[in-house]
Protein backbone atom coordinates (compact mmCIF):
# COMPACT_ATOMS: atom_id res chain seq x y z
CA UNK A 1 0.00 0.00 0.00
CA UNK A 2 1.18 3.52 -0.80
CA UNK A 3 2.72 4.93 2.38
CA UNK A 4 1.29 8.33 1.49
CA UNK A 5 -2.25 7.09 2.13
CA UNK A 6 -4.25 8.45 5.06
CA UNK A 7 -6.71 6.40 7.12
CA UNK A 8 -9.43 7.64 9.48
CA UNK A 9 -10.29 5.14 12.23
CA UNK A 10 -13.21 5.88 14.52
CA UNK A 11 -13.04 4.61 18.09
CA UNK A 12 -9.30 4.44 17.55
CA UNK A 13 -8.10 5.13 21.07
CA UNK A 14 -8.70 1.69 22.57
CA UNK A 15 -9.37 -1.97 21.87
CA UNK A 16 -9.62 -3.13 18.27
CA UNK A 17 -9.55 0.46 17.03
CA UNK A 18 -6.20 1.17 18.61
CA UNK A 19 -4.81 -2.12 17.24
CA UNK A 20 -5.99 -1.05 13.78
CA UNK A 21 -4.31 2.34 14.18
CA UNK A 22 -1.07 0.68 15.29
CA UNK A 23 -1.17 -1.81 12.42
CA UNK A 24 -1.80 0.85 9.80
CA UNK A 25 0.95 3.06 11.18
CA UNK A 26 3.33 0.08 11.08
CA UNK A 27 2.47 -0.24 7.38
CA UNK A 28 3.44 3.38 6.77
CA UNK A 29 -0.10 4.74 6.55
CA UNK A 30 -0.79 8.17 8.01
CA UNK A 31 -3.42 7.60 10.70
CA UNK A 32 -6.19 9.92 11.82
CA UNK A 33 -7.25 8.48 15.16
CA UNK A 34 -10.86 9.36 15.94
CA UNK A 35 -11.55 9.49 19.67
CA UNK A 36 -14.64 10.75 21.47
CA UNK A 37 -12.36 11.99 24.26
CA UNK A 38 -9.43 13.94 22.82
CA UNK A 39 -7.23 13.41 25.89
CA UNK A 40 -7.67 9.64 25.68
CA UNK A 41 -6.84 9.81 22.01
CA UNK A 42 -3.64 11.74 22.62
CA UNK A 43 -2.55 9.23 25.25
CA UNK A 44 -3.23 6.32 22.89
CA UNK A 45 -1.43 8.02 20.01
CA UNK A 46 1.80 8.71 21.88
CA UNK A 47 3.19 5.14 21.73
CA UNK A 48 2.47 5.05 17.98
CA UNK A 49 4.44 8.24 17.50
CA UNK A 50 7.26 6.92 19.67
CA UNK A 51 7.40 3.91 17.38
CA UNK A 52 7.81 6.14 14.35
CA UNK A 53 4.20 6.16 13.18
CA UNK A 54 2.41 9.21 11.80
CA UNK A 55 -0.80 9.81 13.74
CA UNK A 56 -3.17 12.72 14.17
CA UNK A 57 -5.87 12.72 16.84
CA UNK A 58 -9.32 14.02 15.96
CA UNK A 59 -12.11 14.43 18.54
CA UNK A 60 -15.05 12.56 16.99
CA UNK A 61 -18.37 11.57 18.52
CA UNK A 62 -20.00 9.47 15.82
CA UNK A 63 -23.41 9.97 17.45
CA UNK A 64 -23.22 13.72 16.81
CA UNK A 65 -23.52 14.87 13.16
CA UNK A 66 -21.97 18.24 14.00
CA UNK A 67 -18.91 16.46 15.41
CA UNK A 68 -18.49 14.53 12.17
CA UNK A 69 -18.96 17.65 10.06
CA UNK A 70 -16.42 19.55 12.17
CA UNK A 71 -13.87 16.77 11.74
CA UNK A 72 -14.37 16.73 7.97
CA UNK A 73 -14.02 20.52 7.88
CA UNK A 74 -10.76 20.47 9.86
CA UNK A 75 -9.24 17.79 7.65
CA UNK A 76 -10.32 19.63 4.53
CA UNK A 77 -8.83 22.88 5.83
CA UNK A 78 -5.51 21.10 6.41
CA UNK A 79 -5.60 19.43 2.96
CA UNK A 80 -5.87 15.97 4.53
CA UNK A 81 -7.55 13.56 2.12
CA UNK A 82 -9.01 10.41 3.68
CA UNK A 83 -8.14 7.41 1.52
CA UNK A 84 -9.22 4.74 4.01
CA UNK A 85 -12.24 4.92 6.32
CA UNK A 86 -12.55 2.36 9.12
CA UNK A 87 -15.93 2.64 10.83
CA UNK A 88 -14.93 0.92 14.06
CA UNK A 89 -16.71 2.85 16.86
CA UNK A 90 -19.65 0.95 18.31
CA UNK A 91 -21.90 0.29 21.31
CA UNK A 92 -23.25 -3.04 22.57
CA UNK A 93 -26.54 -2.75 24.51
CA UNK A 94 -27.64 -5.95 26.21
CA UNK A 95 -31.41 -6.46 25.94
CA UNK A 96 -33.88 -8.47 23.93
CA UNK A 97 -36.49 -6.88 21.66
CA UNK A 98 -39.08 -6.36 24.42
CA UNK A 99 -36.56 -5.10 26.98
CA UNK A 100 -34.76 -2.63 24.72
CA UNK A 101 -35.32 0.95 25.85
CA UNK A 102 -35.79 3.90 23.51
CA UNK A 103 -32.46 5.29 24.73
CA UNK A 104 -30.68 2.03 23.85
CA UNK A 105 -32.36 1.94 20.47
CA UNK A 106 -31.43 5.52 19.66
CA UNK A 107 -27.85 5.15 20.88
CA UNK A 108 -27.17 1.92 18.97
CA UNK A 109 -28.68 3.27 15.77
CA UNK A 110 -26.81 6.59 15.90
CA UNK A 111 -23.41 5.07 16.78
CA UNK A 112 -23.47 1.76 14.92
CA UNK A 113 -25.33 2.75 11.76
CA UNK A 114 -26.05 6.45 11.29
CA UNK A 115 -22.52 7.59 12.20
CA UNK A 116 -20.85 5.29 9.64
CA UNK A 117 -23.44 6.33 7.06
CA UNK A 118 -22.68 10.02 7.56
CA UNK A 119 -18.93 9.39 7.43
CA UNK A 120 -19.37 7.48 4.18
CA UNK A 121 -21.25 10.45 2.75
CA UNK A 122 -18.53 12.82 3.95
CA UNK A 123 -15.49 10.96 2.62
CA UNK A 124 -16.38 8.45 -0.11
CA UNK A 125 -17.12 11.09 -2.79
CA UNK A 126 -13.53 12.30 -2.41
CA UNK A 127 -12.26 8.75 -2.76
CA UNK A 128 -14.22 8.35 -5.99
CA UNK A 129 -12.94 11.68 -7.30
CA UNK A 130 -9.31 10.76 -6.56
CA UNK A 131 -9.77 7.23 -7.94
CA UNK A 132 -8.83 5.32 -4.77
CA UNK A 133 -10.49 4.38 -1.50
CA UNK A 134 -11.11 1.66 1.05
CA UNK A 135 -14.06 1.52 3.45
CA UNK A 136 -14.11 -1.04 6.27
CA UNK A 137 -17.30 -1.36 8.31
CA UNK A 138 -16.85 -3.11 11.66
CA UNK A 139 -19.89 -5.36 11.78
CA UNK A 140 -20.58 -8.60 13.66
CA UNK A 141 -21.76 -12.13 13.12
CA UNK A 142 -24.53 -11.12 15.55
CA UNK A 143 -25.99 -9.12 12.66
CA UNK A 144 -25.80 -11.98 10.14
CA UNK A 145 -29.05 -13.61 9.04
CA UNK A 146 -26.97 -16.55 7.82
CA UNK A 147 -25.29 -17.15 11.18
CA UNK A 148 -28.28 -16.23 13.33
CA UNK A 149 -29.12 -12.85 14.87
CA UNK A 150 -28.31 -12.45 18.57
CA UNK A 151 -31.66 -12.21 20.40
CA UNK A 152 -30.04 -11.12 23.67
CA UNK A 153 -28.54 -8.01 22.03
CA UNK A 154 -31.45 -7.24 19.72
CA UNK A 155 -30.74 -3.62 18.84
CA UNK A 156 -27.02 -4.32 18.46
CA UNK A 157 -27.84 -7.13 16.02
CA UNK A 158 -30.33 -4.96 14.13
CA UNK A 159 -27.94 -2.03 13.90
CA UNK A 160 -25.16 -4.26 12.55
CA UNK A 161 -27.56 -5.79 10.03
CA UNK A 162 -28.32 -2.25 8.90
CA UNK A 163 -24.57 -1.55 8.67
CA UNK A 164 -24.28 -4.59 6.43
CA UNK A 165 -27.05 -3.18 4.26
CA UNK A 166 -25.12 0.10 4.06
CA UNK A 167 -22.07 -1.86 2.91
CA UNK A 168 -23.98 -3.66 0.17
CA UNK A 169 -25.87 -0.62 -1.11
CA UNK A 170 -22.75 1.55 -1.08
CA UNK A 171 -20.88 -1.06 -3.10
CA UNK A 172 -23.73 -1.06 -5.62
CA UNK A 173 -23.63 2.75 -5.78
CA UNK A 174 -19.90 3.00 -6.50
CA UNK A 175 -19.17 3.94 -10.11
CA UNK A 176 -17.19 1.68 -12.39
CA UNK A 177 -13.62 2.85 -12.80
CA UNK A 178 -12.29 4.28 -9.53
CA UNK A 179 -10.48 1.77 -7.31
CA UNK A 180 -12.84 2.19 -4.36
CA UNK A 181 -13.79 -0.83 -2.28
CA UNK A 182 -16.19 -1.24 0.62
CA UNK A 183 -16.47 -4.30 2.84
CA UNK A 184 -17.89 -5.32 6.21
CA UNK A 185 -16.18 -7.60 8.70
CA UNK A 186 -16.64 -9.45 11.98
CA UNK A 187 -13.62 -9.40 14.31
CA UNK A 188 -14.78 -12.39 16.34
CA UNK A 189 -15.09 -12.39 20.12
CA UNK A 190 -12.33 -10.05 21.25
CA UNK A 191 -10.98 -9.30 24.73
CA UNK A 192 -11.92 -5.61 24.96
CA UNK A 193 -14.13 -3.53 27.20
CA UNK A 194 -17.03 -4.46 24.93
CA UNK A 195 -16.11 -8.12 24.49
CA UNK A 196 -15.29 -8.80 28.14
CA UNK A 197 -12.51 -10.66 29.91
CA UNK A 198 -13.65 -14.12 28.82
CA UNK A 199 -13.16 -13.36 25.12
CA UNK A 200 -10.44 -15.55 23.58
CA UNK A 201 -9.08 -13.14 20.95
CA UNK A 202 -6.64 -10.30 21.39
CA UNK A 203 -7.37 -6.87 19.89
CA UNK A 204 -4.55 -7.53 17.41
CA UNK A 205 -6.24 -10.73 16.27
CA UNK A 206 -9.54 -8.89 15.96
CA UNK A 207 -7.85 -6.16 13.92
CA UNK A 208 -6.21 -8.47 11.38
CA UNK A 209 -9.11 -8.65 8.90
CA UNK A 210 -9.66 -4.88 9.15
CA UNK A 211 -6.01 -4.26 8.28
CA UNK A 212 -6.28 -6.65 5.34
CA UNK A 213 -9.41 -4.93 4.01
CA UNK A 214 -7.98 -1.46 4.60
CA UNK A 215 -4.95 -2.25 2.46
CA UNK A 216 -6.50 -4.41 -0.28
CA UNK A 217 -4.77 -4.44 -3.66
CA UNK A 218 -6.66 -3.34 -6.75
CA UNK A 219 -7.77 -6.90 -7.49
CA UNK A 220 -9.18 -7.35 -3.96
CA UNK A 221 -12.85 -7.93 -3.15
CA UNK A 222 -15.58 -5.36 -2.64
CA UNK A 223 -19.10 -5.69 -1.30
CA UNK A 224 -18.30 -8.64 0.98
CA UNK A 225 -18.65 -9.68 4.61
CA UNK A 226 -15.54 -11.27 6.15
CA UNK A 227 -14.13 -12.93 9.25
CA UNK A 228 -10.52 -14.13 9.41
CA UNK A 229 -10.15 -12.96 5.79
CA UNK A 230 -12.83 -15.44 4.68
CA UNK A 231 -16.34 -14.61 3.46
CA UNK A 232 -19.22 -15.22 5.83
CA UNK A 233 -22.96 -15.08 5.04
CA UNK A 234 -24.97 -11.88 5.27
Q: What are the Cα distances from residue 15, in Å, to 102, 149, 167, 193, 216?
A: 27, 24, 23, 7, 22
Pick from 56, 40, 60: nearest CA to 48: 56
Whether 132 is catalytic: no
Beta bridge partners of 85: 8, 135
Query: Which residue of the set 156, 166, 195, 207 is catalytic?
Result: 156
Pick from 213, 214, 211: nearest CA to 20: 211
Q: How many C-beta neighbours within 10 Å does residue 14 have?
A: 18
Any residues with CB less than 8 A from the CB of 3 and at least 6 apart, and which? 27, 28, 29
Catalytic residues: 156
Amino acid sequence: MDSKRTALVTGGNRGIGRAICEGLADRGVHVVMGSRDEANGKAAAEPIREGGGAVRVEPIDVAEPRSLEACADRLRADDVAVDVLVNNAGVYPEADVLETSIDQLDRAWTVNTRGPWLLVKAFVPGMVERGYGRVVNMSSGSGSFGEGLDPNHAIYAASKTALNALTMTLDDALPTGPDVKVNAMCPGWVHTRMGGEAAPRTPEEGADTALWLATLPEEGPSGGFFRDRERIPW
